[in-house]
């Protein structure tokens, strides 16, 4: 019950904080991109407008999205999907940052209590501690202590099975972040290709179309690629970071559970 309540609090916290961080990141990157794009495109647009008769440059500039919200809107449906994926990625990253810690998965004080009970021969008390406190270590140790009556080999099998299950759950959470890191840039590329097809189709249907028409369409189409990369790069870094932390924790967990299991190993004559 205690573990379930803590998990609900973590989920609510990650959703709220993840949304706030996402809005901040999108605004910062989008604002910087708009500023750079405006500086680079203002002079060529003005020159092209002057060559066309004086009014073309202002018309092209007015058609381009101005500001972070306009850039997101211009990215279309695929851009909205990428934004949604970024919310999920930020929430998962914050949740893993909170949950994947040694003090959360194998608290030192809890380990000391279990070892003291085992040293005193109070095996039932040690099992009760594991059942009362919910964490990865107590799940693994509790699975083994609950099979004491079935012998050492059954205890070893039960602990190994539970350890594999816990490791799978951890890697599955990280797999979602890795999936987002791979899908986001592909969605961005899909949006860009789709937009470029539309831009070239418009050029083909208008014999009098010029480079400004093509550049404006491509400018909008590239927004999805930008959004995809903004999501994919931090997600890839987060996945690598958490994977290293998980591997380290699982290694330490294996050593600790192995030492406790050795207490029950029968003495060979």
- From first to last of its 269 residues, the chain has per-residue pLDDT tens of 344 445 445 554 554 555 555 555 555 554 455 455 445 444 444 444 444 444 443 344 445 666 666 666 766 788 889 889 989 999 899 988 888 888 888 888 888 888 888 888 888 888 888 888 888 888 998 888 888 888 888 888 889 999 899 888 888 888 999 999 999 999 989 888 887 887 777 777 776 766 666 766 677 778 888 889 999 999 999 999 999 999 999 998 888 888 888 888 776 65
Q: Give residue for tokens 């990253």.
A: 93
Q: Rounded to two decimals, what is the model's pTM? A: 0.70
Residue 188 belongs to some domain of the structure: yes
Residue 61 belongs to some domain of the structure: yes
* Domain hosting residue 29, numbered range: 2-264
For position 201, what pLDDT does the model report?
Answer: 76
Residue 269 belongs to some domain of the structure: no
Structural domain count, the chain: 1
Residue 70 belongs to some domain of the structure: yes
- Do residues 33 and 109 make contact, with C-beta atoms less than 8 angstroms apart? no
For position 45, what pLDDT does the model report?
Answer: 44
Alpha carbon distances (Å) from 223 to 57, 60, 130, 211, 231: 21, 17, 52, 19, 13
H runs (alpha helix) in 75-135: 76-99, 102-105, 108-119, 123-132
Classify the C-alpha dihedral 133-135-137-141 as positive or negative: positive
Residue 245 belongs to some domain of the structure: yes
* Tokens encoding 74: 């211009």
């Amino acid at each position: 019950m205690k573990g379930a309540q803590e998990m609900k609090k973590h989920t609510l916290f990650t959703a709220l904080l993840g949304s706030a961080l996402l809005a901040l990141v999108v605004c910062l990157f989008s604002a910087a991109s708009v500023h750079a794009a405006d500086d680079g495109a203002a002079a060529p647009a003005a020159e092209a407008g002057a060559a066309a008769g004086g009014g073309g440059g202002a018309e092209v500039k007015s058609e381009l999205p101005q500001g972070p919200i306009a850039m997101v809107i211009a990215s279309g449906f695929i851009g909205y999907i990428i934004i949604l994926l970024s919310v999920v990625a930020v929430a998962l990253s914050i949740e893993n940052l909170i949950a994947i810690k040694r003090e959360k998965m194998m608290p030192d004080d809890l380990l000391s209590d279990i070892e003291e009970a085992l040293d005193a021969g109070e095996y039932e008390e040690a099992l009760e501690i594991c059942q009362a406190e919910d964490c990865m270590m107590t799940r693994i140790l509790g699975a083994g202590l609950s099979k004491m009556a079935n012998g050492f080999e059954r205890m070893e099998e039960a602990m190994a099975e539970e350890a594999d299950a816990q490791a799978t759950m951890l890697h599955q959470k990280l797999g979602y972040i890795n999936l987002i890191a791979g899908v986001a840039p592909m969605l961005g590329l899909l949006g860009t290709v789709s937009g470029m097809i539309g831009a070239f189709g418009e050029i083909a249907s208008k014999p009098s179309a010029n480079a400004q028409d093509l550049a404006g369409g491509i400018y909008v189409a590239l927004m999805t690629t930008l959004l995809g990369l903004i999501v994919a790069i931090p997600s890839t870094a987060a996945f690598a970071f958490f994977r290293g932390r998980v591997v380290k924790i699982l290694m330490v967990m294996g050593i600790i559970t192995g030492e406790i299991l050795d207490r029950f190993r029968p003495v060979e004559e």
